[in-house]
Structure 1
């Protein structure tokens, strides 16, 4: 039953899924959303990669502890009040930022953000995530996750487009 699905271990999710650009397709909570941002890919990447400055444009999240941004480095952050311990899986400037994370000791996630340049010089941003953990679906859903992703994309688009034309 999906309500009790705990998913692969966090280590396996990190090594065999996130580092290879995969989500846990069996996870009970999944989402994928995209937006075209009218700004160069470098500007969009800078906003995403400067995690310490997220609160300047992203009202729902802030980083509590951040070291070097490289695969297997950890960071701690909060999103909408929930504390999360994460580990970078993929850090490819102007292309991909992926990490795994754990919240409440048992909720595991893969967060993946990819960037690609459109033919007209804009940036396509895609945010994908899978979440698993026993009883997760009793208080969290794919629809709620998708709304969070759409909010993130809207805030990112606003920040990148404002600074792109200054």
Structure 2
């Protein structure tokens, strides 16, 4: 029953799902959203990967603790005030930044941010996420997750098209 679905253990989600480019397809809350950004992939990657500067373009998130940007490195952040402990799964510059995370001790997520250069020099950005936890669907659903993703993509697109990522690309 989806209402009580807790999902695989976080370690399994990390190793067998996120690191292999998979979401938890059984998770009751899932979303995929994309946008085409009028900026090159290196500028978009810089905005996404410079997590200490997320709050300069992303009003909903703030990174609290961040070490190295590499698979299995941990980081802590806040999303709309909720504390999240995460671990990078895939760090492929200009292509993908993915992680697993846990919040409130019982919610587990896989987040993937993928970038694909287009033939005309723009960048297609796709955010995918699966979210599980017992009773999660009583207060959160896929439509709400999708709205959040679309807002992140809107903020990313605006920052990249203002040249914000280009200012720091290559650094």
Instruction: Tell me the TM-score normalized by structure 1.
Output: 0.98
How many residue pairs match? The answer is 166
- Please give the alpha-carbon distance, in whole angstroms, between the structure 2 residues aligned to 1:26 and 1:53: 33
Give the gaps of 5 or more residues in structure 1: none
- Please give the alpha-carbon distance, in whole angstroms, between the structure 2 residues aligned to 1:63 and 1:70: 16
Q: Deviations over 1:88-124 (max 9, x none)?
A: 0000000000000000001000000100101111000
Matched residue, 2:69 = 69
Q: Deviations over 1:10-32 (max 9, x none)?
A: 00000000000000000000000
Q: Give, in angstroms, the shift of residue 133 of structure 1.
A: 0.3
- Other structure's SS at 2:146 match: helix
Q: Deviations over 1:106-155 (max 9, x none)?
A: 10000001001011110000000000000000111100100000000000
Give the gaps of 5 or more residues in structure 2: none
- Please give the alpha-carbon distance, in whole angstroms, between the structure 1 residues aligned to 2:117 and 2:57: 22
* 1:20-99 equivalence runs, <5 A: 20-99=20-99
- Please give the alpha-carbon distance, in whole angstroms, between the structure 2 residues aligned to 1:82 and 1:30: 19
Instruction: Tell me the TM-score normalized by structure 2.
Output: 0.95
- Please give the alpha-carbon distance, in whole angstroms, between the structure 1 residues aligned to 2:94 and 2:119: 16
Matched residue, 1:136 = 136
- Please give the alpha-carbon distance, in whole angstroms, between the structure 2 residues aligned to 1:145 and 1:80: 13
- Please give the alpha-carbon distance, in whole angstroms, between the structure 2 residues aligned to 1:108 and 1:119: 36
Which aligned segments of 4 or more residues in structure 1 are displaced greater than 6 angstroms? none
- Other structure's SS at 1:15 match: helix
Matched residue, 1:18 = 18
Say what the alpha-carbon RMSD is for the aligned residues: 1.1
Matched residue, 2:149 = 149
- Please give the alpha-carbon distance, in whole angstroms, between the structure 1 residues aligned to 2:104 and 2:79: 13
